[in-house]
Amino acid sequence: MKYRLLFPTHSLEDKFHKVLVKLPRKIQDAIMDTTANLAENPYPQGKNIFKKLTPPLKLMQYTAQYRLRIGDYRILYDVDEAKKTVWVFVLRKRGEDTYK
């Protein structure tokens, strides 16, 4: 693994998993595989899968610089190159409040 994959707080990790367990198994597997792959490549290539957020999105005291699309769901995260860490903040269904 090139990068460590972490959540900044236990609370954010719990919220991520609460959203995840409510989804169909096929989508859960896709999200878990894609999230795990961020440790190998935090900047995946592909049409409309990975996007740098402009402007970056504030989530509590954290700032999400990137989003990853998996079907109708988005993972908002940031990459700390100095510490080789991918910070996962939230898993949200695409909708009005996804980027708020």
Q: What is the pLDDT of residues 26-41, one digit of tens each?
A: 999 999 999 999 999 9
Q: What is the pLDDT of residues 1-22, one digit of tens each?
A: 699 999 999 999 999 999 999 9
pLDDT band at 100 (very low <50, low <70, confident <90, very high): low
Q: What is the pLDDT of residues 57-73, one digit of tens each?
A: 888 889 999 999 998 99
The reply to whether 100 falls in a domain is no
The reply to whether 58 falls in a domain is yes
The reply to whether 97 falls in a domain is no
Give me the residue label for tokens 């740098």. 52
The reply to whether 78 falls in a domain is yes
The token pair that represents 76 in the structure block: 């908002």
Q: What is the CATH number of the domain that holds 56?
A: 3.30.2310.20
pLDDT band at 98 (very low <50, low <70, confident <90, very high): low
The reply to whether 26 falls in a domain is yes
> Any residues with CB less than 8 A from the CB of 84 and at least 6 apart, and which?
2, 3, 4
The reply to whether 98 falls in a domain is no
The reply to whether 25 falls in a domain is yes
- The total of structural domains in the chain comes to 1
Cβ atoms of 93 and 22 within 8 Å: the answer is: no
* Residue range of the domain that includes 11: 4-92
The reply to whether 66 falls in a domain is yes
